[in-house]
Amino acid sequence: MSQRIGRYEVLETLGKGGMGVVYRARDPELDRFVAIKVVLAWAQYDADAMERFNREARVVAQMQHPHIVTVFDAGRTDEGLPYFVMEYLEGTDLGEVLGVSGSLSPSRAVRYVLQVCEGLTYAHAREIVHRDIKPANLLITPDDNIKIVDFGIAKLVGSQITGTGVSLGTPLYMAPEQVAGKPVDHRADIFAVGGVLYTLISGHSPFEAPTLGGICHKIETETPTPLSKLGIEIHSRLEAIILRALEKNPDDRYQSSTEMTADLRAVQAALEAQAEAPTVITAGSTPASPTTLTEPITVQMRRRPGRIVALLAVAVIAAAAALWAFPELRPWAESSQLADLDADVEAGEAATGAAGAAADSDVSVGEETGAAGAEAEETASVAAGTAASTTEARGTGAAAITTETPGADAPAGAHAPTRADTPAEEAAPAGAEAAGAGEEATPADADREARPTLYPAGAAERAAANRVVGSLVRAIEARDSTAIARLFGGRIPAREWRMFSRMFEGPRVRIRYELTGVGTAENGMLLAEVHNNILFQGQPGRVPTPRRSTWIAQFQSDKTGLYLMRVRPR
């Protein structure tokens, strides 16, 4: 592939699948970024095939809807492959979201699917059927809205696949008539939407099987297991909507996306009313185990929002030792919560400060954060990926680990993040004692004196904090700086970023962690206490030594859910 496609300058590859490859490119005439999808699943074309492509491309390009990616142009590469030129969006897709968060809350899943239905209603009114609705074709924009991509491509390549040997991917969301090779209409899209909604809430497709043939057989013959029978808390009306959309016979499904939209809006109102109902904590109430994930969390790589939603708002003030002062918050901590990870950790680097001033010392993902003089030590620009990525569900975020590092004598990790400029003397020496030992008093110490009244967190908050910590554990285990950035909502406090930067350079450690408390303060702040057992590994001439430390994670939220603000040792 040359460095140009038509008049467009190719800058980088954004993704590749069985059907095509997507590039980020620049339109020199209009001086704007665009996304170009080259259709790889294309056999030896003839004049009729190309005319059909051109005709379909013109129809798709005429669609203008807030939930459909706009197509600007179409053509053929020098190799003769068709391509679409589309608006470039900094975001991720629902497939990637599910890969990180596992599933979404029913309310958020319904909100996304309603937007999909709105886009499909617009397209179906123009007699355009998508034919390939799936999480990977549903982009999440930086403002947390859905845009459908790949309109028309499945239809264009459908008759061209025979003989190419190119796989279009697993047909997890294809309607039975589509799998059987029968004529399809807009109701095939409705079936796919039902499958996507099922997947968003449960975390898996309604028709999973180890082989392609097995998947097709299930789609054609088996009724999906109701989500309520999988132990998932779901509104009965929402479950009925999903099952109706997944009916085998097109005549038994919703006959239009407008009809499905009406039912979803009614359920959305019920879910919102349910979410706003107050939780009453009575004397003697026992918090549920944090391992019960009733509300999956969201992870957002985005700029820190200007507003804080009051429901889960987290002010960065408050008492690192507060949970320690309330042992009644701890009985539900279980040894089964322990998890292993490979990571390097550091003591004494947890940052403190007020929420209003946090942005001044944050690492911003995807944007330059210049700083002069002393400010340069507190701000760094993080190269954490080319596109702002989102991962979602109610109660998102993650907690970072602030403990200690035995030194930086091991080779740097292959995927070390961009480091902030950090004086060499800041690195913790080998053999440093447990976190916090011998350190000078910090603002965190002053917070310890405040000891605000804490109340047991609700089930959703406990589940979110539990999932948050596990998400960070997995990110550190993979030494994935991009994932860590996502868990901080796209802006990492500079001290934490320096910690993570050095963390990938030192020797690996194995950590077993345990949530020992989650509570909320009167101002809505959510705090989680995490206990670590650390076993250093891979240090030449040194016997592995277990260390222990405890840290406090502070969270903040916006309309997208919960994300991490700060971490600090207790």
pLDDT digits (tens, 9 = 90+) for 492-531: 777 777 776 666 665 565 666 777 778 876 666 778 887 7
The pLDDT of residue 479: 66
Distances (CA, A) of 156 to 54, 63, 160, 378, 410: 10, 17, 8, 52, 53
Instruction: Give the span between the Cα atoms of 48 and 275, in whole angstroms.
Output: 54
Domain spans in the chain, listed from the N-terminal domain onward: 4-87, 299-569
Mean pLDDT of the chain: 66
pLDDT bucket at 189, cuts 50 / 70 / 90: very high
The pLDDT of residue 196: 97
pLDDT bucket at 229, cuts 50 / 70 / 90: very high
Please state the rounded mean pLDDT for residues 448-465.
Answer: 65
- Give domain 4-87's CATH superfamily: Phosphorylase Kinase; domain 1 (3.30.200.20)
Least confident of 84-93, 322-331, 551-560: 322-331
Angle at 23 between CA 22 and CA 29, to 5 degrees: 130
The pLDDT of residue 450: 46
The pLDDT of residue 244: 97
Write the DSSP string, 39-82: E----S--HHHHHHHHHHHHHHHT---TTBPPEEEEEE-TTS-E
Q: Has this prediction a pTM greater than 0.75?
A: no
Instruction: Give the span between the Cα atoms of 364 and 493, in whole angstroms.
Output: 9
Residues in the chain: 570
Provide the sign of the torsion angle of the four alpha carbons 455, 460, 463, 469, taken in this order. Answer: negative
pLDDT bucket at 138, cuts 50 / 70 / 90: very high
Catalytic annotation, residues: 132
pLDDT bucket at 478, cuts 50 / 70 / 90: low
Least confident of 6-15, 183-192, 387-396, 524-533: 387-396
Least confident of 47-51, 217-221, 257-261, 413-417: 413-417
Q: What is the pLDDT of residues 238-286, one digit of tens each?
A: 999 999 999 999 999 999 999 999 999 999 988 877 655 443 433 333 3
